[in-house]
Structure 1
Amino acid sequence: LLCHLDLRSLDYCASLKNLETISNKQNYKFIEGDICEPHFIKWLFETEKVDIVLHFAAQTHVDLSFVHALEFTYVNVYGTHVLVSAAYEARVEKFIYVSTDEVYGGSLDEEFDESSPKQPTNPYASSKAAAECFVQSYWEQYKFPVVITRSSNVYGPHQYPEKVIPKFISLLQHNRKCCIHGSGLQKRNFLYAADVVEAFLTVLKKGKPGEIYNIGTNFEMSIAQLAKELIQLIKETNSESEMENWVDYVDDRPSNDMRYPMKSEKMHGLGWRPKVPWKEGIKKTSMF
């Protein structure tokens, strides 16, 4: 029986309600804990038979990273080093580090592949890029089987409303305006959660140690267009003047990359491609 051990710190954006549908399954175990506590993490690997690590844990909100940069460095870099070190000592079979397209920095036209240089432009992306270096070093030095993934923006039901899609949906449902940074012309690639799950399962089965995989989509939308589509969906209006009443433009944040276009041929070579169309994914998301 394949067992799943779920370690979470239950930070401000976590909710045990999201685990209710699986909490009673025999092959699932939840443990509350912090990856930044070395003794606890070492004990965990000593007492639980862990074969594979999928490392999602991170501080991820870009806006907050400008205000709490040191906390992002502590959790994302130090915490990752603690975890990969303990996993190495426990001789884990595979360690998958979940990174982000933001490590590449922004681009207007160039598409990033896995060999493109990392040029992060905000504290969050910088911390993820630094953590990647620690993870990759365990492959270079010890041939510890690590794999790094970099994915586009993920959206779906139950997402905490600090990310742009659930935030806009929540604001509109409470009759408040969508708050857009700067011009709103910044574009993002959006992947539905179910597609990303399939990508991680593919990497688990077929991903090669020491490799980096872009998990991307060609679907791209500006933040202004995103707000417009969500207003149409939730407020059920196509009137341009009425839609303008639901948008509020504010000062841009210190650094706001225009695009993160990625090539994902390596993932395609493993047999994965995104399947859920935007209209279907956003409809499912807005229902929660």
Structure 2
Amino acid sequence: MQLKGFISKHFDLKTGDICNPRLVNHIFATENIDIVFHFAAQTHVETSFVWPSRYHMVNVEGTRVLLKAAFEAKVEKFIYISTDEVYGESLYKELDETSPRRPNNPYSVSKATAECLVLSYRERHKFPVIITRSNNVYGPRQYLEKVIYHYQCTIQGTSPQSHHFLYVDDAIEAFHTILERGMVGETYNIGTDFHHSTNGRISIIQLARELKMVRHVPDAEQDDWLEFVPDRPVVDLRYPVNCEKLWRLGWKPAVSWAEGIIRTVKWYQENPEFWPDVKAEDQPITFEPDTRDQ
């Protein structure tokens, strides 16, 4: 995670491996921690097919280590950041928090498994846990593999994928709302309901075209801007989540896709030093949308 620009007197940053129980236990023993937001994860879906064991280790074993330490430290709340991908694909029916989990790739399988661990602490120990399942989050300071400002984007496969995209500021407000008003033991979908496309979705190809227009890609570079590559083994076309449960707590997204993508591109234009060691031509964008963790 890039933390440049985040460090201040209000933060005590400690870096390390979430799978290292000695480190995690030491942090809980020496710091006065009362709330845990568990964002740490391996998240890139395509890579999860190549190294599934790595995803299991970080997302499942890392969650076990953190859960155990937080439970022993008697924290007030443990909020686990999951993903809408645990539901699996749904072409028509909206997915609410009671919908069954049907993960279809090693990444989402590992996140669903971690959810089971979290819920087991709730059932067995009455541990105060909350689970969130978010749409794809985008915005400034995002990893190169996600939907960001850079030189080229590749479109995986030809299937008609469409997704909801949630601007990072809206995601932060959602997490704050859940911290303040969320009920212990509950799960909350976090998503947006406004794009100009059907039911709040935007297709991946349309997203790429709009990003091209926001970036003012010259006509002479059109052929270089989009590149179609083979699809990954399993593709979920869409995850239409229902977020009314969270809306009833008083949160709704405020930043539209049209506004959010302009903000995102502008930020990258104004902060070229954010990736000082990476050449644009070496890191094309891949529109393999992924939820989560900035």
TM superposition score normalised by structure 2: 0.86
Match of 2:202 in 1: 221
2:144 maps to a residue whose letter is P
Contact 1:104 1:117 in 2 (8 A): yes
Which residue is 1:11 aligned to? none
Which residue of the partner structure matches residue 6 of structure 1? none
1:40: Cα distance to partner?
A: 1.3
Query: 2 CA distance for matches of 1:184 and 1:247?
Result: 16
Q: What does the per-residue CA deviation read over 1:141-170, in whole Å, with 9 as the maximum and x for residues that have no partner? A: 11100000000000001101111x11xx31
- From 51, 55, 76, the equivalent of 1:72 is 55
Please tell me whether the aligned partners of residues 44 and 107 of structure 2 are also in contact (alpha carbons under 8 angstroms): yes
What amino acid maps onto 1:180 in structure 2? I
Identity %: 52
> Are residues 1:133 and 2:100 paired?
no
User: Does the 8 Å CA contact 1:217/1:262 hold for their aligned counterparts?
Assistant: no
8 A contact 2:2–2:141 mirrored in 1: no
Counterpart of 1:185 in structure 2 is: 160
Instruction: Report the equivalent of 1:86.
Output: 69
Q: Which residue identity lines up with residue 115 of structure 1 in the other structure?
A: T
Corresponding residue number in structure 2 for 1:259: 238
Residue in 2 that maps onto 1:274: 253
Is 1:24 the counterpart of 2:8? The answer is yes
For residues 139 and 261 of structure 1, what CA distance do their matches in structure 2 show? Answer: 27
1:159 matched to which residue of 2? 142
Structure 1 spans left out of the alignment, 5+ residues: 1-13
Partner of 1:208: 183
For 1:247 and 1:214, how far apart are their aligned partners in 2?
32
Q: How far 1:18 moved relative to its partner?
A: 4.1
Runs of 4+ in 1 over 4 A off after TM superposition: 241-245
Specify the alignment match of 2:263 in structure 1: 284
Residues of 2 paired with 1:15 and 1:267: CA distance? 29
Instruction: Look up the SS of the partner of 1:113 in the other structure.
Output: coil
Q: 2:233 corresponds to which letter in structure 1?
A: P
- Ranges in structure 2 where 5+ consecutive residues have no aligned partner: 194-199, 269-294
State yes or no: 1:230 paired with 2:230.
Answer: no
Amino acid at match of 2:252: R
Cα offsets for 1:17-52 (capped at 9, x unmatched) = 242xxx232x31101121101111111111101000
Query: What does the per-residue CA deviation read over 1:191-242, in whole Å, with 9 as the maximum and x for residues that have no partner?
Result: 00000000000010011111000001123111100111011111356x7x97
Contact 2:133–2:190 (Cα < 8 Å) also in 1: yes
Q: Distance in 1 between matches of 2:33 and 2:225?
A: 49
**How far apart are the structure 2 equivalents of 1:44 and 1:268?**
35
Residue in 2 that maps onto 1:115: 98
> Please, what is the CA RMSD of the aligned residues?
1.5
The letter of the residue matching 1:82 is V
Give the distance between the partners of 1:197 and 1:24, measured in 2 at CA. 18
State the Cα distance separating 1:123 from its structure 2 match: 0.5
User: Are residues 1:49 and 2:18 paired?
Assistant: no
Higher relative contact order (CA 8 A, sep 6+): 2
